[in-house]
Amino acid sequence: MAVELIDQRLIAALQEGRSVITSQHTQARYLRYAYAHHQKAQGTDAWMTPRILTWNDWVLSLAREVMWSGYKSSSGQRSLLNPSQEQLVWEQILSQSSGGNLMDNLSSTAAVARQAWGLIQAWRLPDPKTAQFPNSDVRAFSGWMKRYFETSSKNHWLDSARLPDSISPAIRAGAITPPDEVILFGFDKFSPQQRVLLKTLENLGSGFKLLKQKKIKGKLTRAGFANFELELVAAARWARMQLAQDNPGVTAILVPDLDQRFDQVKRIFDEVLSPGSALPSSSLAGRPYTLSTDRKFSRNKLVLGAQTILRHVLQESFFAEVSTFLRSPFTRAAGAEQPMRARFELWLRQHNIDTVRPGELESLLDLYAQRHDADAANSVFHALLRGLKPLGAKGQGRH
């Protein structure tokens, strides 16, 4: 099976010690697994570890060669940040730019900003604020990007996003010996940044081969089930059977409307492939499968939290929605004020509050503060309710 799924030219290249560069970690993992099965099928008990690297790991290996060569660039010696350090720098910039008004998901926002910075470098994109109609988010990111560039330049820092651009001049200057031949596996297209590095190596004598995974014919079988739940259970059990057979091939299950059935699919596959993972004592570090989708934007927890708050402002809310509002981790000072908000929610339950009209929650919080907790009147949550009032006054019509 391994021989059918991995190209013979790829096997020959790996046996000769050539480098195979993949576009994704999953592809690199797949090739290592398939190559190991090929060696076992040949009766080999031990073999040299194949040189299979992702693009980023390969660029990093070239950068290390440049560093040990003693090459000095015109911009001076720069320190390469690791991913955790890059994340920390972005978080610090976002924190300073917010003027103390920190968002609860600072880490997630910094990670997205770091990813966007990488895309801008890879695809040679202009400053996003130069777009025809930049909104406030775009302008904010443009400011963060400028501060990040200034901070890294001042401290002589280099990040992974600009690493390919930094080693191309060193390669042209002869700092390292270019590889004779490199196999590129699984690439659909190359970014401008990647093309520059590949062209630099090619001009100095490196050869490149682009290979793709072999296509194989499948066998179609149709089965009927009473409902979608049973069909998912059968699919998960089939996947478990494939894993038990130690099959090196890729096992994939296509689920219609996966974003809408996300929780159901995750629950069933956890039960079948990771029994006991839902127990509090479970030490499951990672799942033996991946869900190749993200939830729709409207199903994002942050967005759902914002919708709950807006519904409270514009219309009468049931107590369950009020409870979600009080517990939301996306409101300012949610962690620090969690005990106070929990006591306030308990007080609402004890007084059988079933529904809350727009603006009424602030009055109830004032009453609670007078009778039980004077500090609640000066809380961040009270200020939030007061700040939402103008939205309620403009709530009629579409906005």
In this model, does residue 214 exceed pLDDT 70?
no
Confidence of residue 257 (pLDDT cuts 50, 70, 90): confident
- Rounded percentage of the chain residues whose pLDDT exceeds 90: 48
d(CA 88, CA 288): 30
Residue 347 confidence (pLDDT) = 95
pLDDT for res 359: 84
Question: Quick one: average pLDDT of 316-340?
Answer: 89
pLDDT score, position 312:
82
Residue 242: what pLDDT? Answer: 85
* Amino acid occupying residue 233: V
Residue 191 to residue 164: CA distance in whole angstroms: 11
Output the 3-class SS for the chain: CHHHHCCHHHHHHHHCCCEEEECCHHHHHHHHHHHHHHHHHCCCCCCCCCCEEEHHHHHHHHHHHHHHHCCCCCCCCCEECCHHHHHHHHHHHHHHHCCCCCCCCHHHHHHHHHHHHHHHHHCCCCCHHHCCCCCHHHHHHHHHHHHHHHHHHHCCEECHHHHHHHHHHHHHCCCCCCCCEEEEECCCCCCHHHHHHHHHHHHCCCEEEEECCCCCCCCCCCCCCCCHHHHHHHHHHHHHHHHHCCCCCCCCCCCCCCCCCHHHHHHHHHHHHCCCCCCCCCCCCCCCCCCCCCCCHHHCHHHHHHHHHHHHHHCCEEHHHHHHHHHCCCCCCCCCCHHHHHHHHHHHHHCCCCEECCCHHHHHHHHHHHHCCHHHHHCHHHHHHHHHHHHHHCCCCCC
Strands 19-22, 181-185: parallel, antiparallel or unpaired by DSSP? parallel
Higher pLDDT, 54 or 242: 54
Average pLDDT over residues 218-225: 87
Residue 139: pLDDT above 50? yes
Name 356's bridge partners: 317
The per-residue pLDDT for 135 is: 87
Mean local confidence (pLDDT), 134-145: 90
Lowest mean pLDDT among 26-30, 97-101, 167-171: 97-101
Q: Supply the pLDDT for residue 320.
A: 87
Q: Is the pLDDT of residue 378 over 80?
A: yes
Q: What is the mean pLDDT of the chain?
A: 86
Q: With 60 as the cut, is the pLDDT of residue 346 above it?
A: yes
To the nearest 10°, report the CA torsion of 268, 273, 278, 280.
Answer: 180
Structure tokens of 11? 């096997």
With b for 16 or more beta-carbon neighbours within 10 A and e for fewer, the 177-201 pattern comes to ebbeebbbbbbeebeebbeebbebb
Block residue for tokens 């576009």 = 23
Quote the radius of gyration of the chain (alpha carbons, Å). Answer: 28
* pLDDT range class, residue 212, cuts 50, 70, 90: confident
**Contact between 204 and 176 (Cβ < 8 Å):** no
The pLDDT of residue 393 is 67
Residues 90-111: what's their mean pLDDT?
76
pLDDT level of residue 1 (50, 70, 90 thresholds) = very low
Specify burial of residue 279 (Cβ count, 10 A radius: 0-12, 13-18, 19+).
exposed
Whether the per-residue pLDDT at 75 is higher than 80: the answer is no
Is the pLDDT higher at 349 or at 77?
A: 349
Mean pLDDT of 339-343: 93
pLDDT at 27: 87
Confidence bin at 86 (pLDDT 50/70/90): very high
For the ranges 89-98, 123-132, 293-302, the lowest mean pLDDT is seen at 293-302
More confident residue, 218 or 295: 218
pLDDT at 283: 55
* pLDDT higher than threshold 70 for residue 188: yes
> Lowest-confidence range among 129-138, 170-179, 239-248, 267-276?
239-248
pLDDT confidence tier of residue 244, bands split at 50, 70 and 90: confident
Amino acid identity of residue 301, one-letter, is: K
On the 0-12 / 13-18 / 19+ scale of CB atoms within 10 A, 292 is exposed
Q: Which pair of tokens denotes residue 316?
A: 């009468």
Instruction: Please state, for a pLDDT cut of 70, what percent of the chain lies above it.
Output: 89
Instruction: Find residue 181's DSSP bridge partners.
Output: 207
pLDDT value at position 248? 56
Residue 3 confidence (pLDDT): 42
Question: What per-residue confidence (pLDDT) applies to 326?
Answer: 92
User: In this structure, is the dihedral angle defined by the CA atoms of residues 334, 337, 341 and 342, taken in order, positive or negative?
Assistant: positive
Give the per-residue pLDDT at 278: 66
Cα 329 from Cα 259, distance rounded (Å):
23
What phi, psi does 134 have (nearest 5°)? -70, 135
The answer on pLDDT for 251 being more than 60 is yes
- Output the pLDDT for position 77: 82
What are residue 79's phi and psi, to 5 degrees? Answer: -95, 130
Please provide residue 24's backbone torsions phi and psi, each rounded to the nearest 5 degrees: -140, 155
